[in-house]
Copies of this chain bind each other. A is one copy, B any other.
Amino acid sequence: MHQRVNRQVRLKSRPSGIPQAEHFEIVEAPVPDPSNGQVLVRNIYLSVDPAMRGWVSAVANYSEPVALGAVMRSLAVGRVEESRSSDFHPGEYVTGMFGWQDYAVVDAETIEREVGGSGLPISTSLGVLGLNGLTAYFALLEIGQPKAGETVVVSTAAGAVGSCVGQIAKIKGCRTVGIAGGPDKVRVCREEFRYDSAVDYRADDFESALDAACPEGVDVYFDNTAGPISDSVMRRLAVGARMVICGTASIASWDPPPQGPRVERHLLVKRARMQGFLIFDHVQRSPDALRELESWVRNGQIRYREDILDGIEQAPGSIAGLYRGENLGKRLIRIAPDVLPRDPFPTQT
């Protein structure tokens, strides 16, 4: 059975900024056999995440860079085909760092978790019930510490993390303001993710619209951009504001470091706080968070969107597309049939 071909997306050259299609190549390799304690997984969905830019960067980071010629590091969800571990059995669905490839042989203990059985599609394990949802959950609640009645502003508000942040803030009784690019995303923010206000940062009236949306200033700012949108929000901080730094999507390259207005005076006058967040500091507590997130998805308090590309040949160009903002919702690449029931909720694409 292992005469099947394993298509792999490998890192061909190291980008200086945002990885483009030409930085990768697709190579066919044999499907390896699992050794003792290992599992062979047939990947079904591959994840595409903004953080991948950092993973292929040579600049010091929070994880080792992907080596040239190696399979692109990626979360994925797939089906166990063969197991030489007593913890997993053929036919089970699992998530983990399986990489951009058809098949992965991994040590059983590196598998993140078993998914499925909940009736929700397995694709959610890479998005709203995966690192995106967990990021939104821990970063907003632990770093942002929103209180009922406060104004919570979210950049990349229609994105996989941002949309979840806005809805969790709403569950916690906050006034939510989403910032997104273009009328389609702004409409989705309002209608699907039920932000109290949604503002288009590309529109000429962005500044006045932001004023109107935040009449009492900004208590919590959840940021994924690190650019001019943040500069605008920062001028509107309320006393005691908390800024969660979760991503830097608007910065094409950190080498050399981009310049922006210094933030110290805002922080001082408003006794405000900026704090960086990485989900890997919090994963040990994810089972409880996932249970709560799943209950919110089931009862409709959290809706989500997925942007599914078909075929592994879509992978090389998929990160650059994220940074161009062409996706609406969590970007995934489907490389095999999804055999579980499709999502019963009405708001998915």
Measured CB to CB, the residues of A under 8 A from B are 60-62, 223, 226-227, 230, 245-248, 251, 254, 257-278, 281
Copies of the protein in its oligomer = 2
Q: Which 4 A-B pairs have the closest CB atoms?
A: A267-B276, A226-B264, A268-B276, A257-B261
Chain B residue numbers with a CB within 8 Å of A274 are 263-264, 267, 273-275
Chain B residue numbers with a CB within 8 Å of A269 are 60-62, 276, 278
CA distance A262 to B185 in the complex (A): 27
Query: Which one of B246, B257, B266, B275 lies within 8 Å of A272 (CB-CB)?
Result: B275
Known pairs A257-B265, A259-B259, A270-B276 / 14 extra A-B pairs, C-beta < 8 Å = A223-B264, A226-B264, A247-B268, A248-B268, A251-B264, A257-B262, A258-B261, A266-B276, A267-B275, A268-B276, A269-B278, A271-B278, A272-B276, A273-B275
Across the interface, do B273 and A281 meet the contact criterion of CB distance under 8 Å?
no
Give, as a whole number of angstroms, the nearest-CB distance from A253 to chain B. 11
Chain B residue numbers with a CB within 8 Å of A273 are 273-276
Across the interface, do A262 and B264 meet the contact criterion of CB distance under 8 Å?
no
Chain B residue numbers with a CB within 8 Å of A264 are 223, 226, 230, 245, 248, 251, 274, 276
Closest residue on chain B to residue A63 by CB atoms: B269
CA distance A223 to B274 in the complex (A): 15
Closest residue on chain B to residue A234 by CB atoms: B257
Chain B residue numbers with a CB within 8 Å of A258 are 261-262
Closest residue on chain B to residue A261 by CB atoms: B257
Query: Which one of B268, B275, B276 lies within 8 Å of A277 (CB-CB)?
Result: B268
Give, as a whole number of angstroms, the nearest-CB distance from A216 to chain B. 15
Chain B residue numbers with a CB within 8 Å of A271 are 275-278, 281
Residue from A61, A245, A270, A272 having most chain B Cβ neighbours under 10 A: A245
Chain B residue numbers with a CB within 8 Å of A261 are 257-260
> Assuming the A-B contacts A260-B259, A260-B260, are A226 and B265 also in contact, with contact meaning beta carbons closer than 8 angstroms in the complex?
yes
Residue from A62, A254, A276 having most chain B Cβ neighbours under 10 A: A276
Chain B residue numbers with a CB within 8 Å of A60 are 269
Query: Which one of B61, B62, B227, B263 lies within 8 Å of A263 (CB-CB)?
Result: B263
**CB-defined A-B contacts under 8 Å, sample of 26:** A60-B269, A61-B269, A226-B262, A230-B264, A248-B268, A254-B265, A257-B261, A257-B265, A259-B259, A259-B260, A259-B261, A260-B260, A260-B261, A264-B274, A266-B276, A267-B274, A267-B276, A268-B277, A268-B278, A269-B278, A271-B275, A271-B277, A271-B278, A273-B276, A274-B274, A274-B275
Give, as a whole number of angstroms, the nearest-CB distance from A200 to chain B. 22
Chain B residue numbers with a CB within 8 Å of A245 are 264, 267-268
CA distance A226 to B260 in the complex (A): 13
Give, as a whole number of angstroms, the nearest-CB distance from A336 to chain B. 34
Chain B residue numbers with a CB within 8 Å of A266 are 276
Give, as a whole number of angstroms, the nearest-CB distance from A334 to chain B. 30
Give, as a whole number of angstroms, the nearest-CB distance from A65 to chain B. 13
CA distance A267 to B257 in the complex (A): 13
Chain B residue numbers with a CB within 8 Å of A278 are 268-269, 271
Chain B residue numbers with a CB within 8 Å of A276 are 264, 266-273
Residue from A61, A62, A264, A267 having most chain B Cβ neighbours under 10 A: A264
Closest residue on chain B to residue A51 by CB atoms: B268
Give, as a whole number of angstroms, the nearest-CB distance from A270 to chain B. 6
